[in-house]
Structure 1
Amino acid sequence: MSTRNKKKKRTWLKVTGIILLILFIAGGAYAYTVYKSFKSAVETMHQPIERKQSEKREKPVTLQEKDPFSVLLLGVDERAGDRGRSDSLIVLTVNPTNNSVKMLSIPRDTRTEIIGKGKEDKINHAYAFGGVPMAMDTVENFLDIPIDYYIQINMEGFKDIVDAVGGVTVNNDLDFNYEGVHFTKGELTLNGEKALKYSRMRYDDPRGDFGRQLRQRQIIQAVINEGASVSSLTNFSTIFTALGKNVKTNLTFDQMIDIQKNYKTSAGNIQQIEIKETGTKINNIYYGLVAAEEKQKVQNELKTQLELNQ
């Protein structure tokens, strides 16, 4: 893989925080010009998909009634003439009753049934086979919860957006070097380039991919914390334009405003959860296998968060 492609990987994670920030505070103290710019960006971002109502819900989510809901975040590396693969998958479950968001990273090598393909494969291949609908269906089947919305992010061009919020602050628990940068233990303030490197390192972490996932979630939460108010940014128009070009979602502008009104306090309580797996090779291909007990534990936690019958 080229250095350029490596640098693109998981850049989307920093911007995910900005998108979540927009979801939760979009309507608050916006001046008219900010509101108008944001609405225009969301209209560009909006991309509905053809997908039948989930069998895992008795009725559709109603954001105006403060129903708990879920969002699948897809970080996609798109290449010319190729749909690409979802290099990163994160599921958010939002509950306004307990004012919390649970954030689950799904390792891309996780072996599971690809819904609509009729075979088991790495979970990140679902997007390559069938786009967003197949990715949503596959994750929904894997976790046994409804996936209500999606946010697809192209990893090109997001470093500048991270820098626009003034960088991020994280608490690093591992001293390491990566691509010429020394990350010491303790509190670190990172710009876009360093935040990308911080979230990408895996092989020198004794926790492997789980350590990387932890840092990815740290970056997301840090961006949310840094952006107390998007309206305070002097270059909001540039940020919204970049989002419009690189982000697709089935959430409408009105739905985002409903989220701001009814779920805003949930953004202050983000709980990170993991799904543990064991690495193995099948026909010389690496997969992550999740034990039945582990999968059930995670499924139960998410179902409780979404207030679903178990």
Structure 2
Amino acid sequence: MTGASILLVFVSLCAVVGYFALTQPRAIVHLALRPDTLLLLAIVLPLIGLAWAATVVATYLVLRPSAMSVMHRIAAVAVVTVLVAVIAVPFAVGGRYAWVQKDLVEHVFAGSTSKSATRPTTAPRAVGNPWKDQGRVNVLLLGSDAGPDRSGVRPDTIILASIDTRTGATVMFSVPRNLQKIPFPAGSAPARVYPNGTYAGPGNELEWLINSVYRNVPAQHPDLLDSDNPGADATKLAVSGALGVPVDYYAMVNLEGFKELIDALGGITVNVNHRVAMGGEADAGLVPGGWIEQGPNQHLDGFDALWFARGRYGADDYQRMGRQRCVIKAIIDQADPLRVLTRYEALAASSRDLFSTDIPHDLLPAFADLAWKVKGADVTSIAFTNEVIRPSNPDYQQIHELVQNAIKESTTKKSKSSITDSLDNACAYHPDKSGPSTPRPRPGYSSAPEDGS
């Protein structure tokens, strides 16, 4: 009777969970992003599994016949062991996943005591419409080359994703890492300490590119920004000044750990429109160690995907920026739920050391809702190439106008301008018949990664 009662309760719980999973999937996702709920699940699920397993064993001990042959006894014990395993393992795995998820959320995402000099002071909280009073949210995506052989961090990838909170329509702005003479927003702390509020100065011009802001601003003015990550806050302000829009949050990916994430996902499939070098340094006369060959639907593991995103030899920064946007798109499109579930611990382990962000973990449910919209909406992009701006002497008024026009086009779904492009189109297979270009050293700007870049 006890066993039947427990089975009835379990089946009822499964039915309730299944109903909510089918009818309220976002509510399930919200629960999976709350540390307090995850802690409760990490404790309760193993206890339920243990209690049910104990009930199975107790039922067998009470009901087993007194006279059994050795073979029957062995068979009965084997059946009970299998039943216990079938019952206990899913609950144990569920509890472990809940604990791993709790650790991931608390480790990666900002807590209530975290400090940021640029994060919005008012955050959406409404359950029904979490972004009710905020038309857009702008998230800065940074790719970091930090590692044991680097003396500092210089973001190798700088992309601002501007998301319409009503529709999910997104515009991605790729900022050249060699952008110069960046105007910090008026009234910001960096604008007060740099002459004319502009990030520029004497000496090596490589020390005044936008990708050096992360390292140099905190080094030059250690107490300027009261933040857990002053480099990220300084970069947010630099990108805000360059593009003319506020930057709400940042998310930084350590590219050295990026390949672990791709491998945990089982690789990604991309279109390779021109051969991509793996290594090589034009200025030193070093040839690549290999190539990712041109072709449609190329499946890349983590190692190759990292080179696809970073390869410079025979390509300019703008081609590389385009490939990076396509990698982001591939991850979004190809993150299969079943694959994510079966490789969850590997994904969580890589993500724990892969990401840093100032997005508070209590905002994760709101961002999860937004992600549902983004996945089904149009994503367009702008790369500020040499044909659009001059990175060494940019017209920031022109850049601000281009950004505002792209946002307006995305919101109103008007015909796209000549510099905006759908990522579906940009990442489609359009083979480059000219082949890879011959790299030429550029005065004052190396094609090889500079220190910390």
The alpha carbon displacement at 1:50 in A equals 2.8
2:265 is aligned, of 157, 165, 176, to: 165
Question: Residues 45 and 249 of structure 1 are in contact (CA less than 8 Å); yes or no, is this contact kept in structure 2?
Answer: yes
Classify the secondary structure of the residue corresponding to 1:89: strand
**What letter corresponds to residue 306 of structure 2 in structure 1?**
L
The alpha carbon displacement at 1:177 in A equals 5.1
Counterpart CA distance in 1 for 2:343 and 2:124 is 33
Partner of 2:295: 185
Counterpart CA distance in 2 for 1:77 and 1:102 is 25
Same amino acid, percent of matched pairs: 22
1:39 is aligned, of 102, 109, 121, to: 102
Which structure's residues are more often helix, by fraction?
Answer: 2
The alpha carbon displacement at 1:203 in A equals 3.7
Partner of 2:209: 122
Higher mean C-alpha displacement, 87-96 vs 153-162: 153-162
| Structure 1 residues without counterparts, runs of 5 or longer | 1-23, 282-286
The alpha carbon displacement at 1:248 in A equals 1.4
**What letter corresponds to residue 173 of structure 1 in structure 2?**
N
**What letter corresponds to residue 92 of structure 1 in structure 2?**
A
Partner of 1:212: 320
Higher mean C-alpha displacement, 266-275 vs 118-127: 266-275
The alpha carbon displacement at 1:76 in A equals 2.0
Question: Residues 111 and 122 of structure 1 are in contact (CA less than 8 Å); yes or no, is this contact kept in structure 2?
Answer: yes
The alpha carbon displacement at 1:126 in A equals 0.9
Which structure's residues are more often strand, by fraction?
Answer: 1
Query: What are the Cα deviations for residues 246-288 of structure 1, in whole angstroms up to 9, with x where unaligned?
Result: 321111222111111244121233222211237999xxxxx64
User: TM-score w.r.t. structure 1 length?
Assistant: 0.75
Question: Residues 242 and 400 of structure 2 are in contact (CA less than 8 Å); yes or no, is this contact kept in structure 1?
Answer: no
Partner of 2:415: none
The alpha carbon displacement at 1:191 in A equals 1.1
| Matching of residues 1-310 of structure 1 within 5 Å | 27=29, 34-47=97-110, 48-52=114-118, 60-62=122-124, 64-66=130-132, 67=134, 68-79=136-147, 82-113=151-182, 115=184, 116=190, 118=194, 119-120=199-200, 121-129=208-216, 130=218, 131-175=231-275, 178=278, 179-205=289-315, 208-229=316-337, 232-268=340-376, 269-277=378-386, 288-292=392-396, 294-301=398-405, 304=408
How many corresponding residue pairs?
A: 273
Q: Provide closer, same or farther for how the CA distance between residues 185 and 155 of structure 1 changes in structure 2, counting only shifts above 3 A.
A: closer
The alpha carbon displacement at 1:134 in A equals 0.8
The alpha carbon displacement at 1:78 in A equals 2.6
Q: Provide closer, same or farther for how the CA distance between residues 181 and 34 of structure 1 changes in structure 2, counting only shifts above 3 A.
A: same
The alpha carbon displacement at 1:25 in A equals 11
Higher mean C-alpha displacement, 263-272 vs 250-259: 263-272
Question: Residues 279 and 288 of structure 1 are in contact (CA less than 8 Å); yes or no, is this contact kept in structure 2?
Answer: no
Partner of 1:7: none
Counterpart CA distance in 1 for 2:170 and 2:407 is 13
Q: Provide closer, same or farther for how the CA distance between residues 198 and 82 of structure 1 changes in structure 2, counting only shifts above 3 A.
A: closer
Counterpart CA distance in 1 for 2:329 and 2:141 is 14
Classify the secondary structure of the residue corresponding to 2:384: coil
Counterpart CA distance in 2 for 1:239 and 1:183 is 28
Counterpart CA distance in 1 for 2:28 and 2:151 is 33
Q: Provide closer, same or farther for how the CA distance between residues 154 and 176 of structure 1 changes in structure 2, counting only shifts above 3 A.
A: closer
User: CA-atom RMSD, angstroms?
Assistant: 3.3
Question: Residues 276 and 308 of structure 2 are in contact (CA less than 8 Å); yes or no, is this contact kept in structure 1?
Answer: no
The alpha carbon displacement at 1:110 in A equals 0.6
| Structure 2 residues without counterparts, runs of 5 or longer | 1-25, 33-93, 185-189, 201-207, 219-230, 279-288, 412-453
Higher relative contact order (CA 8 A, sep 6+): 1
Counterpart CA distance in 1 for 2:389 and 2:398 is 17
Question: Residues 172 and 185 of structure 1 are in contact (CA less than 8 Å); yes or no, is this contact kept in structure 2?
Answer: yes
Question: Residues 168 and 222 of structure 1 are in contact (CA less than 8 Å); yes or no, is this contact kept in structure 2?
Answer: yes
